[in-house]
Chain A
């Protein structure tokens, strides 16, 4: 290593009148600056403390140390100094160089100023995702965290890009329904409803009335099971594992109805351009009525367990707020929009299927926080039950065809959209008159809802981040695959489990503060 000298002006900060200029050896291999004791005595530097030092032979020695005022590269400041042996070279050590923000340039033999770092204490990046077995859309959130607070959010997607739009260009219209049904495992009938609507829009197809009721029944049953799924997961994230288990238990009868009516618990394959593929037999109706009636007390129970719970209030009220302007700017949809007082819903605004023919309400809340989103979903379950029961009633009276038997799709373009459990799904199709589309565009609701997290998560705490990210119901955002990595050491500090635990512990803390014994209370409600 090349050695070079640098002129420094030394003084004693306690008696600054004596000044000494000295050529010092720049030695970034030495921790501290070191000057022969006689020189320091001349300046009157006091021995204030001792440092243990390792010397070249590996031996540990102890030396006196004090504080020296030093002028270097035009700047003056105090630094620690070791009382060195007589006759040794005065050394300019690493600590002093760092204090002055200087780096060694051994080639040109100069000291160069470098920008010094100022990082907020414990600034950390927390990656959330990208994969999680519960979601059909892997997403990757990178939370930038200062202490407990989230200061920034990056969202990355494409982990499960399957090229559905490109694939659709090589499929027939009949095949496309099965293709788009597989976009999502949870809203698996919403995409087919939008798809057949888009193709029907190209040709101006009139769909038989009976088919409209069947579409709506399937669509609302899906909304019921999807909202129950969300209630369960939200409960889990908040530490209400009883809610989780019970919500999913009551989701099962809904899937049983699907199996009975369509033959499948998921991917029902019910939609068809110009109608529906299967009829609902009169003999099936009583069983469906019984099952959806049984969901009303279940919805009451969750309303009691969640909507009226002071601990849930403490965890979710005022957390992750989205304003009406945010909703408008991001084009957010579904319960996410309705919880911020934006009363939109494709079912009412652009009535398709039987929604214009039955009586029901669009549920809205004004607050825009996580709590409001939960309330919207729970209350929407009652509306779904209402719609299903009315449609079943109509099915008993309106008989006839369930399929317009469409033979050809003319050239042209069409738009279809449907209110999926998470918001509007939007399909655009361009036909050239063959049996395959020229272009097929799909826009799922999470595509518009997920970017709102950039607004709702920033400024909140890490323990609230999971529930805020989950509040738009992004088909469950990889939270169990979360890991927190300390940016300085690259060491894993928190796993996904830890983050959920963090959230659950916060709930428990609030419950304890309120003097509530959580699980036993819930057991009481959930009977």
Chain B
């Protein structure tokens, strides 16, 4: 059963590790974390608080590669998104596939389109594009993609 105040539970558990917490509205909450804190927080939200994994989305902000992991608390009508910023020259983060089966495809996709290396992902083959396009090292959703 989902606890009433999931946001308080997350705050209590990860208080000093939360870089920024933004309640855009009661239904949309964004929490910024360091990349190494993502697996722990995702595991707590998904396994202990029983949130539904919606999807992850990546964006090239020119300074960083940013990844958002969106979780839905359906019984509360809330979406909590975990945000992390990765070094644009060498974007790397631990894969969540061992925690959430449903992250397998989207991590492959972000790897393919934004060039993020998900450590310990079982299968980082291309998901959407052909084998031979775009060439190795070019990522279609990066700002500098031509």
Which residues of A approach B to under 8 Å, CB–CB? Answer: 157-158, 161, 163, 165-166, 201, 204, 328-332, 344-345, 349-351, 412-415, 417, 424, 426, 428, 430, 438-439, 441, 443, 447-448, 451
Contact = CB atoms under 8 A, between A and B. Distances in A.
Contact of B128 (A158, A345, A349, A430): A158
B79 A350 contact: yes
B55 A349 contact: no
A204 B105 contact: no
B115 to A, nearest CB: 15
A426 B55 CA distance: 8
Given A415-B28, A428-B57, A441-B57, A329 B77 contact: no
A166 B141 contact: yes
Interface string B54-75: 1101011000000010101011
Contacts of A157: 127-128
A329 B104 CA distance: 11
Contacts, number: 82
A166 B68 CA distance: 18
9 shortest interchain CB distances as A-B pairs: A331-B102, A441-B57, A349-B74, A158-B128, A443-B55, A439-B59, A329-B101, A331-B53, A161-B128
Given A201-B25, A332-B102, 10 more contacts: A158-B130, A166-B141, A330-B101, A345-B74, A349-B74, A350-B72, A350-B79, A413-B30, A441-B57, A451-B102
Contacts of B79: 350, 415, 417
B140 interface: yes
Given A330-B101, A426-B55, A428-B57, A349 B77 contact: yes
Nearest to A439: B59
Given A349-B74, A451-B104, A441 B129 contact: no
B54 A158 contact: no
A199 to B, nearest CB: 14
Interface in B29-55: 30, 50, 52-55
Interface string B10-40: 0000000000000011011010000000000
B75 A349 contact: yes
B102 A330 contact: yes
B126 A428 contact: no
Interface residues of B, number: 34
A201 B105 contact: no
Nearest to B59: A439
Nearest to B27: A350
A345 B72 CA distance: 11
Contacts of B130: 158
Contacts of A412: 24
Q: Give the most central of B28, B102, B105, B127: most A CB within 10 Å.
A: B102
A439 B114 CA distance: 12
Contacts of B81: 415
A344 B28 contact: no
B54 A165 contact: no
19 contacts: A161-B129, A166-B141, A201-B28, A204-B25, A328-B52, A329-B102, A330-B102, A331-B100, A344-B74, A349-B77, A413-B30, A415-B28, A415-B79, A417-B54, A426-B54, A430-B59, A439-B59, A439-B60, A451-B102
Contact of A331 (B25, B50, B54, B77): B54
B102 A448 contact: yes
A163 B112 CA distance: 13
A451 B25 CA distance: 32
B42 to A, nearest CB: 12
Nearest to A448: B102
Contacts of B129: 158, 161
Contacts of B106: 443, 447
Contacts of A345: 74
B77 A428 contact: no
A415 B24 CA distance: 11
A447 to B, nearest CB: 7
A90 to B, nearest CB: 52
A441 B75 CA distance: 24
Contact of A447 (B77, B100, B105): B105
A441 B55 contact: yes
Interface string B75-91: 10101010000000000
Contacts of B102: 329-332, 448, 451
Contacts of B77: 349-351
Nearest to B104: A451
Contacts of A430: 59
B55 A158 contact: no
A453 to B, nearest CB: 13
Contact of B52 (A165, A201, A331, A351): A331
B58 to A, nearest CB: 8
Contacts of A165: 141
Contact of A424 (B25, B54, B126): B54
Contacts of A413: 24, 30
Nearest to B125: A156
A344 B106 CA distance: 22
